[in-house]
Each structure stands twice: as C-alpha cells, then as structure tokens.
Chain A
C-alpha cells in the first residue's frame, strides 16, 4: 500500500487548471521529486499535500487516511519553505522547538530532541544564535531541523536549495540525501533544477502545464524518456526526424534520412510507437562518437570543460548542429558515429 496517494487531483485559480488531473503514488521512505519549469504546478501540488491549498477535485491520502478535510496544522506533514520562514524573533533553539511546544514535553526531553536534531543537521552549539545572525546555509538547516524534529510522516521541501551558491548547494544536496537515508522519512522535493532532482531522488515526476509527463527513476528518465518534452528537459539531447520501417520482437528498423538506416533494440522505442510512424530519434551528446568513418561533419565550436569537451558539429542535411560531448576528434575530418544501442525513439507529436 503506497504511503502518499494522490488521485485525480485538479486545481485552478479561476483560469486554466494549474494542476490538471494528477495521480501519483509514493511508497514509504522514498525520496521523491517533482520536477518541472516555473508555472508547471509542482509547488501548488506540494502546497495541496501540506494543506495550504484545497484541490478542486480528487483526493490526497497519507498512510491510508484521506487528507482533504484536514487543516494544515493537523496533517502529518511538515514543510521546508523556499524562503525558509525562520521566525525572526526566536533564536535557533526556539525555532526548532517551535512545533514541539504544544506537546508539553518535560524540559529535558525537549532539549534532548532539539539537540539531537541540531547534531543531525550539523549545527551543534548554535542553539542560542539569533535568527538574523545566520548565514543562508545555516538558515536552510534550521528550517530543515525545525520540520524534521516533529517526525512527520512526509517532509515537503519547496525548492530548498535555490538561494544557495553552487558549492554550498552541492554540499547540501549530499547532506540532504544522507539525512533522508538516516531518518527514513518520506521526502517530497519540488525543484526546477534537473540535476538536483536526478542526484537526490529515488524517483522523479516530471511535470509540465499541470500534467505529469513521466514518473520514473533518474536513470530511467535519462535513458528512456517517453516524450520529447521529458527528453528535452532532462540533460541535453539531439533529435533527428525518422520513420519506423518495421518492428520485430527484438529490433526496430528506423530510416533516419541522411544519417542512414539503423537497427535499434525494440526496447528503445517509447511505448505506443508502431511501424510506419514518424518519430524523433534521439541520442545524448556523450553517446555520439568521433570516428575515422561515419557521417562527415564540420566542427563549429569546441568548449573545454575540464574532464571532457563539448562540440557543435554541422552535418549535411541538417541546420541545427549536433552536440557532441567527449574528447577531441582525431586530426583531419570529423566523422560522427551513432551507436544504435544508444538511440531512443520518441513520438513525434507531444
């Protein structure tokens, strides 16, 4: 039985639906991400789970209990806000202890809980610090500790790392992952940063225009996107127009015009594609190889990125250059090779 069950939830603010017939299931203990561009409805969905917005239709159930009629302060969820929302008139200790006050725990037990949480988020000894004396990274950890100390069934995070600089963000990502593993609570993270979603989560739901495009593990999303929108959103990818000649149990034969004819594994085709369909053939830049023979091309730009370089290569019959990621080509003409096992077939209309 899934822990968080969202069924046919719809929400609009007086115009087009912001969340359009979304259904999701998240098992207990999973690190789940809602990924999408601004305005795709992911934050609204998160706020509906927290109880700050009510669905127009559909249900949200947590651990078997329907939550629609439950107000936010009675839900077994806690949220880390994008702005952190640290109470400015309370110090770190009182901020973290805020949600525990009504439990009327004995003083020692309260202190022990808070200090354990301070240790978990690595802010030991800073209990007495005033709110306005915290750095961005510290505020983020206080917000996290404050939410976690109540041991919610689900922790909701609304773009928690957006305000941090790159290095801090990467460090926090690792910590967040470690904390989630340690406490074992279900995390639902909202973000527009696909790298973040892919590196942190067990599974990701890609959203656009209020709808879910695909729910899958990061690897699956990267290697087997089911639509152009998903493929485009996650990482960089090259698209070529092609037609499916025939499909057998093992192989699909695809005619890609200037690039030639390819025989790819049938599993590389998105579900629902039949023989004769016009498709988009897609391949990631790091899978395109330079070789002595293949499609002749002309290198337009080359950018050195450290462990690898990025190239834009023009090939005949195609205006947009092919993105290639790898090491420098052999001297002389650049020829491109497209290994069939790395080619993905996607539906041509969205």
Chain B
C-alpha cells in the first residue's frame, strides 16, 4: 500500500537530514586532527580545548548578546505591527506588510552589503549594534508572521468582555491579551533568537572587529588543526538546542494539565 512506501521514504528522508548532523559528535570525539576516515579512537581533548579557547568564548558571548537583543527588539516590533494591522482597520495594510516582509525575498548578501554601504556613507563604525540592525531586517518578518497568525486566532470579544467586567485598558491587556499572546511571543522570541544566533551572511559584512560565533567558525574552517574543536562546539550547541526543545515541550504540557484551582 502507498502507506508503506511513504513511511519508508519518510524515515529515509529523516536519515538524509541527520547524517551530516551526526558527523559533528562523531568526529568531535575522534582522536585525530584530521577529519577523515578511518576513525582513530575516542578522546575528549577537543572539548577540553574549548575551555581554553578565549576567542571562541568571546565570539559566543557576542552571538548571545546580539541574539538576545535582536530577538527582543524584533518580537517587540513584530508585536506592535501585528496588533496594529489586525485590530485596527488601517488603509495601506497590504503594502505595509509587503514592505516589512521584503527582506525575505532579498538575498542576505544584498542586505548585508547595502547596510555596509549605509554605515560607511554615514561614517558609523561596524559593530555589534550594526549587526543587530542587520539581524532585525532578517528577523522582523519572521516575528511578524508568527505573531499575525497568533493574533488572527484571537477572539476580539475577549478584550471587550474583560472591559465589560470592569477592567480598564491596562488591566485588560495584562489579564487577558498578554497571557493569550504569550505562546506566540515565546515562539517569536525563540525563532528570532535562533535565526540571529546562526546568521552568517549579514553578520559577515557588518562585523568589523567583533566576531559572532558563525564568523568565528568561518575563520576556523581554514585551519584544519582547529577543526575538531569547532566540531566539539557544534555538538554542544546541538545538544543544548535539543535539550531546550524537550524542556519547552515539557513545560508546555505542564500548563495544559493544570490541576483545578479554587474548586
């Protein structure tokens, strides 16, 4: 039955997706500087090497800073724009949304370069702030998409009901709008953080002296002896990400099974 072959295909596809990913942990424990078969034995020295690599840690810190600021700002901008567009009947909604989503349809390299030109024309230095600006371009459309989808499923009567029951504008937002938007806000924060954290093309042109993690990795790819350490880092990032997703899912399900209060 078609069902069978489709299932086989699905698992094969999944394997195709994971094989390159599994290269990372495999060679991060490989006791050889050369990333090639055959394998040479087990070691954890590359992981130990991470602790000593201050440049890497610095780049990691930069990535976290840029990622955090980008995710907060792009979610905030996406939130205000989404609310404006859904709750108010404004003229020019279509063109405005299209304009905000434009970066999705422009290659990142063009975005990075054009910002570089802007900064150089205005005389501003390249820096982490410049990178945040570039990342905003890339991330705001994602935030907007997630948040608009969330707002669209929102019953407008709920805010009116809250007002009707005696709460003023601020309290209504705090007690009704915000809690219901929270999953969307969390999803947006997560999506934009991950996008920024891994973003290379735009950051490459705007980095100046401060490197983010992807830029650091790019630099390392030319030095074969540094590679296993880099792979060790990649394996750690992967593990942390998976753990985060599992944790987030666990927490989400906790909320759903909330035991009765006040019964």
Contact = CB atoms under 8 A, between A and B. Distances in A.
Given A52-B160, A85-B155, A102 B262 contact: no
Point out which of B157, B164, B167, B168 has the most chain A C-beta atoms below 10 A from its C-beta: B164
B168 A73 contact: yes
A146 B176 CA distance: 15
Contacts of B260: 91, 93, 127-129
A25 B125 CA distance: 71
Given A88-B180, A89-B179, A127-B263, A83 B157 contact: yes
A85 B168 contact: no
A129 B262 CA distance: 11
Interface in A89-136: 89, 91, 93-94, 97-99, 102, 111, 114, 125, 127-130
Contacts of B160: 52, 72, 79, 81, 85
Contacts, number: 81
Interface residues of B, number: 24
Interface string A58-90: 000000000000011110011101110101110
Contacts of B155: 83, 85
A94 B262 contact: yes
The contact size tier of chain A is 20 to 34
B161 interface: yes
B166 A102 contact: yes
A314 interface: no
Given A73-B163, A73-B167, A98-B165, A87 B261 contact: no
B164 A98 contact: no
A254 B94 CA distance: 64
A93 B164 contact: no
Given A73-B163, A85-B160, A99-B166, A111 B262 contact: yes
Contacts of A94: 261-262
Interface string B128-161: 0000000000000000000000000001011011
A85 B161 contact: yes
A78 B162 contact: no
B212 to A, nearest CB: 37
A83 B175 CA distance: 19
Interface of B: 155, 157-158, 160-168, 171-172, 175-176, 179-180, 258-263
Interface of A: 50, 52, 71-74, 77-79, 81-83, 85, 87-89, 91, 93-94, 97-99, 102, 111, 114, 125, 127-130, 146-147, 150
